[in-house]
Protein backbone atom coordinates (compact mmCIF):
# COMPACT_ATOMS: atom_id res chain seq x y z
CA UNK A 1 0.00 0.00 0.00
CA UNK A 2 2.89 2.43 0.66
CA UNK A 3 5.25 1.13 -2.08
CA UNK A 4 7.89 0.03 0.43
CA UNK A 5 10.79 -2.23 -0.53
CA UNK A 6 12.91 -4.36 1.78
CA UNK A 7 16.07 -2.59 2.95
CA UNK A 8 19.18 -4.86 2.85
CA UNK A 9 21.67 -4.77 5.71
CA UNK A 10 24.48 -3.70 3.37
CA UNK A 11 22.50 -0.65 2.23
CA UNK A 12 21.81 0.75 5.72
CA UNK A 13 23.99 -1.01 8.34
CA UNK A 14 23.67 1.80 10.91
CA UNK A 15 19.88 1.79 10.69
CA UNK A 16 19.80 -1.99 11.10
CA UNK A 17 22.13 -1.74 14.09
CA UNK A 18 19.99 0.94 15.74
CA UNK A 19 16.79 -1.05 15.26
CA UNK A 20 18.44 -4.22 16.57
CA UNK A 21 19.62 -2.41 19.72
CA UNK A 22 16.24 -0.82 20.39
CA UNK A 23 14.40 -4.09 19.70
CA UNK A 24 16.62 -5.85 22.26
CA UNK A 25 15.79 -3.18 24.83
CA UNK A 26 12.09 -3.52 24.07
CA UNK A 27 12.23 -7.32 24.33
CA UNK A 28 10.97 -7.97 20.80
CA UNK A 29 12.49 -9.68 17.80
CA UNK A 30 14.19 -7.34 15.34
CA UNK A 31 11.63 -6.48 12.64
CA UNK A 32 12.31 -6.61 8.93
CA UNK A 33 13.25 -3.19 7.59
CA UNK A 34 11.70 -1.51 4.56
CA UNK A 35 12.27 1.78 2.74
CA UNK A 36 9.37 3.99 1.62
CA UNK A 37 10.36 6.10 -1.42
CA UNK A 38 8.78 9.34 -0.21
CA UNK A 39 10.18 12.73 0.74
CA UNK A 40 7.80 13.09 3.69
CA UNK A 41 9.57 12.01 6.91
CA UNK A 42 7.51 9.01 8.04
CA UNK A 43 7.79 5.62 9.72
CA UNK A 44 5.33 2.78 10.28
CA UNK A 45 5.19 -0.69 11.76
CA UNK A 46 3.01 -3.62 10.76
CA UNK A 47 2.82 -7.32 11.52
CA UNK A 48 1.54 -9.68 14.19
CA UNK A 49 3.43 -8.35 17.20
CA UNK A 50 6.65 -8.99 19.16
CA UNK A 51 7.52 -12.22 17.34
CA UNK A 52 6.96 -11.04 13.78
CA UNK A 53 6.80 -7.47 12.51
CA UNK A 54 8.05 -5.11 9.83
CA UNK A 55 9.23 -1.54 10.20
CA UNK A 56 9.29 0.92 7.29
CA UNK A 57 11.16 4.23 7.14
CA UNK A 58 10.78 6.86 4.42
CA UNK A 59 13.75 8.24 2.52
CA UNK A 60 12.69 11.67 3.76
CA UNK A 61 12.98 10.52 7.36
CA UNK A 62 16.49 9.14 6.84
CA UNK A 63 17.56 12.37 5.13
CA UNK A 64 15.99 14.87 7.55
CA UNK A 65 16.20 13.36 11.04
CA UNK A 66 19.34 13.61 13.21
CA UNK A 67 20.30 10.35 15.01
CA UNK A 68 18.46 11.18 18.25
CA UNK A 69 15.22 11.97 16.41
CA UNK A 70 15.47 8.91 14.19
CA UNK A 71 16.08 6.74 17.26
CA UNK A 72 13.02 8.29 18.92
CA UNK A 73 10.62 7.49 16.08
CA UNK A 74 12.05 3.99 15.63
CA UNK A 75 11.54 3.38 19.36
CA UNK A 76 7.96 4.65 19.03
CA UNK A 77 7.24 2.07 16.32
CA UNK A 78 8.88 -0.70 18.34
CA UNK A 79 6.71 0.30 21.29
CA UNK A 80 3.66 -0.35 19.10
CA UNK A 81 5.15 -3.75 18.26
CA UNK A 82 5.71 -4.58 21.94
CA UNK A 83 2.18 -3.50 22.88
CA UNK A 84 0.78 -5.60 20.00
CA UNK A 85 -0.86 -2.49 18.54
CA UNK A 86 0.48 -3.40 15.11
CA UNK A 87 -1.73 -6.46 14.69
CA UNK A 88 -4.99 -4.58 15.15
CA UNK A 89 -3.70 -1.46 13.38
CA UNK A 90 -2.77 -3.46 10.30
CA UNK A 91 -6.10 -5.29 10.22
CA UNK A 92 -8.14 -2.11 10.68
CA UNK A 93 -6.23 -0.21 8.00
CA UNK A 94 -6.56 -3.02 5.47
CA UNK A 95 -10.32 -3.25 6.17
CA UNK A 96 -10.84 0.51 5.93
CA UNK A 97 -8.71 0.87 2.80
CA UNK A 98 -10.58 -2.00 1.14
CA UNK A 99 -13.90 -0.28 1.80
CA UNK A 100 -12.56 2.94 0.29
CA UNK A 101 -11.26 1.07 -2.75
CA UNK A 102 -14.75 -0.36 -3.32
CA UNK A 103 -15.91 3.16 -4.13
CA UNK A 104 -13.51 3.44 -7.07
CA UNK A 105 -15.80 1.63 -9.48
CA UNK A 106 -16.26 4.78 -11.51
CA UNK A 107 -19.32 6.32 -13.05
CA UNK A 108 -22.13 8.02 -11.20
CA UNK A 109 -22.00 5.45 -8.35
CA UNK A 110 -18.54 6.51 -7.14
CA UNK A 111 -19.62 9.58 -5.14
CA UNK A 112 -22.70 7.96 -3.51
CA UNK A 113 -20.68 4.88 -2.52
CA UNK A 114 -17.92 7.05 -1.06
CA UNK A 115 -20.55 9.01 0.87
CA UNK A 116 -21.82 5.74 2.39
CA UNK A 117 -18.68 3.60 2.76
CA UNK A 118 -16.30 6.39 3.82
CA UNK A 119 -18.04 7.02 7.17
CA UNK A 120 -18.47 3.26 7.71
CA UNK A 121 -14.73 2.70 7.25
CA UNK A 122 -13.94 5.64 9.54
CA UNK A 123 -16.36 4.36 12.20
CA UNK A 124 -14.63 0.96 12.19
CA UNK A 125 -11.27 2.70 12.61
CA UNK A 126 -12.38 4.82 15.56
CA UNK A 127 -14.23 1.93 17.21
CA UNK A 128 -11.18 -0.33 17.24
CA UNK A 129 -8.34 2.15 17.76
CA UNK A 130 -7.80 4.45 20.74
CA UNK A 131 -5.63 7.60 20.92
CA UNK A 132 -4.26 6.21 24.20
CA UNK A 133 -2.07 3.81 22.23
CA UNK A 134 -0.04 6.77 20.92
CA UNK A 135 0.56 8.19 24.39
CA UNK A 136 1.64 4.76 25.64
CA UNK A 137 3.95 4.23 22.66
CA UNK A 138 5.47 7.68 23.24
CA UNK A 139 6.08 6.89 26.92
CA UNK A 140 7.78 3.57 26.21
CA UNK A 141 9.85 5.11 23.39
CA UNK A 142 11.19 7.71 25.82
CA UNK A 143 12.16 4.89 28.19
CA UNK A 144 13.89 2.91 25.44
CA UNK A 145 15.87 5.98 24.35
CA UNK A 146 16.49 7.15 27.93
CA UNK A 147 15.22 10.59 26.87
CA UNK A 148 11.91 11.93 25.56
CA UNK A 149 13.40 14.80 23.57
CA UNK A 150 14.44 12.92 20.42
CA UNK A 151 10.89 11.78 19.74
CA UNK A 152 9.42 15.15 20.75
CA UNK A 153 11.75 16.98 18.37
CA UNK A 154 10.99 14.48 15.58
CA UNK A 155 7.24 14.97 15.96
CA UNK A 156 7.68 18.72 15.65
CA UNK A 157 9.86 18.24 12.56
CA UNK A 158 7.25 15.92 11.01
CA UNK A 159 4.51 18.47 11.65
CA UNK A 160 6.52 21.23 9.97
CA UNK A 161 7.33 18.97 7.02
CA UNK A 162 3.64 18.19 6.52
CA UNK A 163 3.06 21.89 5.82
CA UNK A 164 5.74 21.94 3.11
CA UNK A 165 5.64 18.51 1.47
CA UNK A 166 2.59 17.02 -0.20
CA UNK A 167 1.77 13.45 0.81
CA UNK A 168 -0.51 11.17 -1.15
CA UNK A 169 -1.83 7.89 0.21
CA UNK A 170 -5.11 6.36 1.27
CA UNK A 171 -6.44 8.36 4.26
CA UNK A 172 -7.30 4.98 5.81
CA UNK A 173 -3.56 4.50 6.46
CA UNK A 174 -3.55 7.39 8.98
CA UNK A 175 -3.37 5.08 12.07
CA UNK A 176 -0.13 3.52 10.79
CA UNK A 177 1.95 6.70 10.84
CA UNK A 178 3.61 8.26 13.92
CA UNK A 179 1.52 11.40 13.37
CA UNK A 180 -1.29 12.51 11.07
CA UNK A 181 0.39 13.42 7.73
CA UNK A 182 -2.89 14.38 6.03
CA UNK A 183 -4.61 17.73 5.89
CA UNK A 184 -7.62 17.39 8.16
CA UNK A 185 -10.25 18.04 5.53
CA UNK A 186 -12.59 15.99 3.38
CA UNK A 187 -12.30 12.21 3.65
CA UNK A 188 -8.96 12.41 5.48
CA UNK A 189 -10.58 14.21 8.43
CA UNK A 190 -12.80 11.16 9.10
CA UNK A 191 -9.85 8.87 9.84
CA UNK A 192 -7.85 10.98 12.31
CA UNK A 193 -7.05 8.78 15.33
CA UNK A 194 -3.91 10.51 16.64
CA UNK A 195 -4.13 12.85 19.63
CA UNK A 196 -3.12 16.46 19.04
CA UNK A 197 0.60 16.70 18.41
CA UNK A 198 0.96 19.55 20.92
CA UNK A 199 -0.44 17.32 23.68
CA UNK A 200 1.97 14.52 22.82
CA UNK A 201 5.00 16.82 22.80
CA UNK A 202 3.92 18.39 26.10
CA UNK A 203 3.57 14.95 27.72
CA UNK A 204 6.97 13.89 26.41
CA UNK A 205 8.69 17.01 27.73
CA UNK A 206 7.00 16.49 31.10
CA UNK A 207 8.58 13.03 31.38
CA UNK A 208 12.01 14.66 31.64
CA UNK A 209 10.74 17.05 34.30
CA UNK A 210 9.31 14.16 36.30
CA UNK A 211 12.58 12.24 36.05
CA UNK A 212 14.58 15.26 37.27
CA UNK A 213 12.18 15.76 40.19
CA UNK A 214 12.57 12.12 41.19
The pLDDT of residue 26: 96
- Per the structure, how many domains does the chain have? 1
Cβ atoms of 84 and 50 closer than 8 Å:
yes
Cβ atoms of 43 and 101 closer than 8 Å:
no
Render pLDDT for 150-202 as a digit per residue (tens, 0 to 9): 999 999 999 999 888 888 877 778 888 888 887 666 665 666 778 889 999 99
Cβ atoms of 208 and 153 closer than 8 Å:
no
Q: Is residue 22 part of a domain?
A: no
Q: How far apart are CA 95 and CA 124, in angstroms?
A: 9
Q: What is the DSSP string of 152-211?
A: HHHHHHHHHHHHHS---S-GGGGGGSSS--S-SSHHHHHT--SPPHHHHHHHHHHHHHHH
- Return the active site residues: 77
Q: Is residue 27 part of a domain?
A: no
The pLDDT of residue 148: 96
Q: Is residue 94 part of a domain?
A: yes
Give 27 or 111, the one with higher predicted confidence.
27
Q: Is residue 182 part of a domain?
A: yes
The pLDDT of residue 193: 74
Q: Is residue 90 part of a domain?
A: yes
Render pLDDT for 128-152 as a digit per residue (tens, 0 to 9): 677 788 999 999 999 999 999 999 9
DSSP 8-class letter at 48 = E
Q: Is residue 35 part of a domain?
A: no
Q: Count how many residues are written for the chain.
A: 214
The pLDDT of residue 16: 98
Cβ atoms of 170 and 97 closer than 8 Å:
yes
**The domain containing residue 172 runs over which residues?**
66-213
Q: Is residue 133 part of a domain?
A: yes
Q: Is residue 123 part of a domain?
A: yes
Q: How far apart are CA 38 and CA 44, in angstroms?
A: 13
Which residue blocks in the chain are alpha helix, DSSP H? 13-26, 59-64, 67-82, 85-102, 110-128, 132-145, 149-164, 186-190, 197-213
Q: Which residues contact 195 (CB under 8 A, 6 or more apart)?
A: 131, 134, 135
Helix (H, G, I), strand (E, B) or coil at 5: strand
pTM score: 0.82
Amino acid sequence: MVRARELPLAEAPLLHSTVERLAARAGVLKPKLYLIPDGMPLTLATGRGPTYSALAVSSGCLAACPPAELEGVLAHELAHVKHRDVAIQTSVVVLAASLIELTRIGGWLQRPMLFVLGPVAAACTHLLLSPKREFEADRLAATLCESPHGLADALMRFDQAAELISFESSPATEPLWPFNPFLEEGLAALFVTHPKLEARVQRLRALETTKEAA
